[in-house]
Amino acid sequence: MHKIQLNPELVERSRGHRGRVLAFHRIDPSKTAHLIIDMQNGFVEPGGAVEIPLARDIVPNINKVSAEVRRAGGVNVFLRFTYDETEATPWTVWYNVIASPESKRASAEAFWEGAHGHQLWSKLDVQDDDLIVNKTRFSGFTPGTSELDRILKERGIETVIISGTMSNCCSESTARDAQQMNYQVVFLADANATLTDEEHNATLNNVQTLFGDVIMADDVSGLWA
């Protein structure tokens, strides 16, 4: 588990422009979605293509939040990072410029739909009423690359609770875009994971300062209106 460290100066700065530490302290559970980001074999499994070892440690907290959201009447949405060569808008700047040929090959082999690496980690608590949604970018909200925004809007979702991996990549990208698309964002400090504490805490400080609330998994049940 990460050693969590929010910068007190940044917390006070966020309090200054919000008027309080938590912006979203009373939310409607029926209008809440728990977004579980990329908890797939390719990221979580030992030896996975993009293994994030600490992602295994957060599974109990993710399951705890999933159960609480389910109990309160919200919806759990499991997002899966997906490699799709046939998509209408190929991600050429990532796969052909930034990523090495080896990295592109690893993603192509691990994250095509149907691959073992693409499947959700077996220790996640996934129920029949939960949703599974693919995305082909880091963020689940990039237009034309996922059905997430349409699905949430059809359900009248106003608040998203974010867990998963990687904190500073797909989780943070999804959180930033969600806030700018008018969703209330709650980011779970102890139910997101990445490679280092430094990267994880940088994300927590970014989110708390500008994009949403940072809380612990045990605090979710106290959010409901």
* DSSP letter for each residue of 16-28: HHHSSS-S-SSB-
- Measuring CA to CA, which residue among 174, 41, 61 is closest to residue 111? 41
| pLDDT band with cut points at 50, 70 and 90 for residue 179 | very high
| pLDDT band with cut points at 50, 70 and 90 for residue 25 | confident
Evaluate if residue 197 carries a pLDDT over 90.
yes
**pTM for this predicted structure:** 0.97
Ordered by where they begin, the domains of the chain are 8-218 (3.40.50.850)
Retrieve residue 102's tokens. Answer: 């080896």
For the chain, the farthest-separated pair of C-alpha atoms sits apart, in whole angstroms, at 49
Helix (H, G, I), strand (E, B) or coil at 203: helix
**Separation between Cα atoms, residue 61 and residue 83, nearest integer Å:** 28
pLDDT at 128: 97
Q: For residue 159, report the phi and psi dihedrals to the nearest 5 degrees.
A: -125, 140
Q: What is the mean pLDDT of the chain?
A: 97
Residues 199 and 68: beta-carbon distance below 8 Å: no
**Separation between Cα atoms, residue 184 and residue 169, nearest integer Å:** 19
Residues 95 and 87: beta-carbon distance below 8 Å: no
| pLDDT band with cut points at 50, 70 and 90 for residue 17 | confident
Reported residue count of the chain is 225
**Separation between Cα atoms, residue 51 and residue 47, nearest integer Å:** 6
Evaluate if residue 161 carries a pLDDT over 90.
yes
**141-148 long-range contacts, Cβ below 8 Å, gap at least 24?**
141/174, 141/177, 141/178, 141/181, 142/177, 144/88, 144/89, 145/87, 145/89, 146/79, 148/35, 148/77, 148/79
